[in-house]
Amino acid sequence: DGGITQSPKYLFRKEGQNVTLSCEQNLNHDAMYWYRQDPGQGLRLIYYSQIVNDFQKGDIAEGYSVSREKKESFPLTVTSAQKNPTAFYLCASSISPGQENIQYFGAGTRLSVL
Amino acid sequence: GQNIDQPTEMTATEGAIVQINCTYQTSGFNGLFWYQQHAGEAPTFLSYNVLDGLEEKGRFSSFLSRSKGYSYLLLKELQMKDSASYLCAVSAYAGNNRKLIWGLGTSLAVNP
């Protein structure tokens, strides 16, 4: 079954700690995306990658970092510099980078601060 | 600027028809998407419109008027499981880059 897998489903971060959210896809998609969703706000783009070994900042990249060493994987690190990390994080992928292409989403990771 | 407007909340009755509107002001329009998102879950793709007119897919239909910057999602024969948030997203230009601009979503409650 092809799809996008995000883990963990729930994650807790302590003060000053970096945490990494996993996103893996077996759809053979070139493009991958990370979004943050807060109550009452639309999806906001954190980072995106159009191809392996390349990624671009989205609208709210500060306090986050990513890597794209493999086509299947696009992990997101929430660093201690991100002062308000509590949110629902969604990873998505599309066949190619064109914004006319459908984005398919993982089940999400809910991050909370202890 | 880029802007998408959707009603915040709607309520409908099981078996009825509901229309969820989306208006947008963007530059370089390249298509409009509708997604469904159940509480705490991932958005799932419903429809994509790039040309004017109606796209029908089972109980769901989506309409686009590019000249009016307007779309709607029509849900027929409503079921309880249709209670969800419906997200409108437009592919448009922001500076030199093309990106998806997301609306805040319309929370639909289907009552028995």
What is the residue type of B62?
Answer: S
**A24 within 8 A of A72, measured Cβ to Cβ:** yes
**Does residue B96 surpass a pLDDT of 80?**
no
Mean pLDDT of B82-90: 97
Contact B43 A100 (CB under 8 A): no
Contact B100 A99 (CB under 8 A): yes
Mean pLDDT of A13-38: 94
pLDDT tens figures, B17-52: 999 999 999 888 889 999 999 998 999 999 999 999
B49 touches chain A (CB under 8 A): no
Give long-range contacts, CB 8 A cutoff, 24+ apart: A96-99: A96/A29, A96/A30, A96/A31, A97/A30, A97/A31, A97/A48, A97/A50, A97/A51, A98/B98, A99/B30, A99/B31, A99/B91, A99/B98, A99/B99, A99/B100
**Does residue B82 surpass a pLDDT of 90?**
yes
Q: Please report residues of B whose CB lies closer than 8 A to that of A99.
A: 30-31, 91, 98-100
d(CA B2, CA B23): 11
B69 touches chain A (CB under 8 A): no
**A100 within 8 A of B30, measured Cβ to Cβ:** yes
% pLDDT > 70, chain B: 96
pLDDT tens figures, A84-96: 999 999 999 998 7
Which pLDDT does position A39 carry in this prediction? 86
pLDDT tens figures, A34-80: 999 998 888 999 999 999 999 999 999 999 999 999 999 999 999 99
Which pLDDT does position A114 carry in this prediction? 82
Mean pLDDT of A23-30: 95
pLDDT tens figures, B57-67: 999 999 999 99
Closest by CA position to A53, among listed A36, A34, A33, A73: A73
**Does residue A99 surpass a pLDDT of 70?**
no
Chain B, residues 8-47, CB within 8 A of chain A, namely: 30-31, 33, 40-45
d(CA A75, CA A6): 9
Q: Please report residues of A whose CB lies closer than 8 A to that of B31.
A: 99-100
Residue bearing the bigger pLDDT, B96 or B110: B110
Which of B32, B50, B100 is the best substitution to test chain A (most A C-beta atoms within 10 A)?
B100
* DSSP conformational letter for A103: P
Chain A residues with a Cβ under 8 Å from any Cβ in chain B: 40-45, 88, 90, 98-100, 102-108, 110
**Average per-residue pLDDT for chain B:** 93
Stretch (H or E) spanning B88: strand B84-94
Sheet containing strand B3-5, strands side by side: B3-5, B18-25, B70-75, B60-65, B53-57
B68 touches chain A (CB under 8 A): no
Which pLDDT does position B93 carry in this prediction? 76
Contact A43 B87 (CB under 8 A): yes
Mean pLDDT of A11-26: 93
d(CA B74, CA B107): 14
**A49 within 8 A of A56, measured Cβ to Cβ:** yes
d(CA A29, CA B51): 25
